[in-house]
Amino acid sequence: MSLSLRPIAEKEWSAWITLDEEAFGNAIPPHRAELFRRNAEFDRSLGAFEGDLLVGVTSVCSFTMTVPGGPIPVGGVTSVGVLPSHRRRGILSTLMTRQLTDLHERGEAVAALYASEAAIYGRFGYGRAADNLFFNITKRGPALARHAPTDPALRLRIVAPTEARAVFEKVFEAVLDSRPGLYARTPARWDAVLSDHEVDQGGAGPLRAVVVEDDGGPRGYALFRIKPNFTQHDVPDGELRLKELFGLDPAAYALLWRHVLERDLVTRVSAWQRPVDDPLIHLLAEPRQLNAGWLDDLWIRLVDVERALPARRYSAPVDVAIEVEDAVCPWNARRWRLTADASGARCVPTEDPADLTLPVTVLGAAYLGGRPLAALQAAGVVHESRAGAVRELSVAMSWEPAPWAGLIF
């Protein structure tokens, strides 16, 4: 099989959509395909062609993403797929390897993705850097605990989502730098968030919104849908499906959740893609009603270790020599000395003896500050040569709040 690799032209958009539908086994409605096209960066796509046939694809979205200490450029890898007729021929490996080389040559030190299958991307150096929770909350008795914060200056306002977009954008911009993993949203991505076609509704009705505000302006918002239902005895049994909820302070956050949890005729609230340190865990009157589950969120790849490690801040001083194993990006596979203090960080090649040895996946997993290294050491993934080196690096790379992207790209 002879393959050629090149960016996908806009005139080949239908072939790209067809490949995605075959690779992921779904049908993409026309309006979603259009939203996808508006978010696509054709010059950053990479197609594998067998003659004129598109048989594999991957693409990158140019993001500004928050990491510990502030925002940096990040390549958001998406739309990775191979035609089912062409699997197990090395096409995916060829695409992913070439893409990492392109990212490196472009000067992007960090890549991020959401994994359709968690087993795939570790072999390309991506580490599971963030997790998320999903809640299936049952309503019984008071929703929030007595200690839940309140502010008499706050008020709720029901709004039409399409008319309050500027409010949502203002709130989101205010929280953007507060949590590693959040990324700036383009107008096209906001279009996708607020899309309200019938297929978006999933039988749960139109998108609804509530804003919390005071005399100074908006302090938070929630986006949700409500699927009404009644039992055979005409008892209300509706479900509220939360899409997004952001608050700028504890009282605003609690008031939004109180509204969501106390909507009339609703007995269940489902919420996906919530951070693992969601304050709601500590606000519910009965925490067991969360019925929480745990999933992977962002996967991070350090494309250039030398530039990626100094691009973030560290929670404690650190001085370690790290032997990095990286079979895909050979420019990373060597020994590095990472030093950091309150004034900043530095990562340089060194010939000093290694304090610890680890695969590049581990650095990706720890990069956003939410993955302690002790468990990876216990799993035999990290090897320590100097006693205490793993703990030193783990403490330095830790960060609060926990990483979370909040929106799949």
Q: How many CB atoms lie within 10 A of CB 96?
A: 23
In the chain, residues under CATH classification 3.30.1050.10 are 312-397
CATH of domain 312-397: 3.30.1050.10
Average pLDDT, the chain: 97
- Alpha carbon of residue 352 to chain centroid: 36
Domain with CATH 3.40.630.30 in the chain: 3-125, 133-295
- 3-125: which CATH number, 3.40.50.300, 3.40.630.30, 2.40.10.170, 3.30.2000.20? 3.40.630.30
At 39 the pLDDT is: 95
Give the separation between CA 7 and CA 90, rounded to whole angstroms: 19
pLDDT band at 140 (very low <50, low <70, confident <90, very high): confident
Whether 126 sits among the annotated catalytic residues: the reply is: no
CA dist., res. 94 & res. 1, Å (int): 13
Mean pLDDT of 197-218: 97
Please say if the pLDDT value at position 38 is more than 90: yes
The residue with tokens 């991070």 is: 300
What CA–CA distance (Å, rounded) separates 183 from 118? Answer: 22
pLDDT of residue 1: 65
Catalytic residue among 63, 121, 126, 172: 121
Give pLDDT tens digits for 264-321: 999 999 999 999 999 999 999 999 999 999 999 999 999 999 999 999 999 999 999 9
Q: Per the residue annotation, which of 168, 172, 221, 409 is the catalytic one? A: 409
Residue 207 pLDDT greater than 90, yes or no? yes
In this structure, what is the dihedral angle of CA atoms 376, 381, 385, 388, given to the nearest 10 degrees? Answer: 0
- How high is the pLDDT of residue 142? 77
* pLDDT tens by residue, 94-123: 999 999 999 999 999 999 999 999 999 999
What integer is the mean pLDDT of 140-169?
95
CATH superfamily membership of 133-295: Gcn5-related N-acetyltransferase (GNAT) (3.40.630.30)
Q: How far apart are CA 349 and CA 324, in angstroms?
A: 11
Annotation marks residue 367 as catalytic:
no
Residue 139: pLDDT band (50, 70, 90) is confident
| pLDDT for residue 404 is more than 70 | yes
pLDDT tens track for 166-203:
999 999 999 999 999 999 999 999 999 999 999 999 99
Binding residues for acetyl-CoA: 80-82, 88-93, 116-117
Binding-site annotation, residues: 80-82, 88-93, 116-117
Q: Which amino acid is at 291?
A: N
Residue 97's pLDDT is what? 98
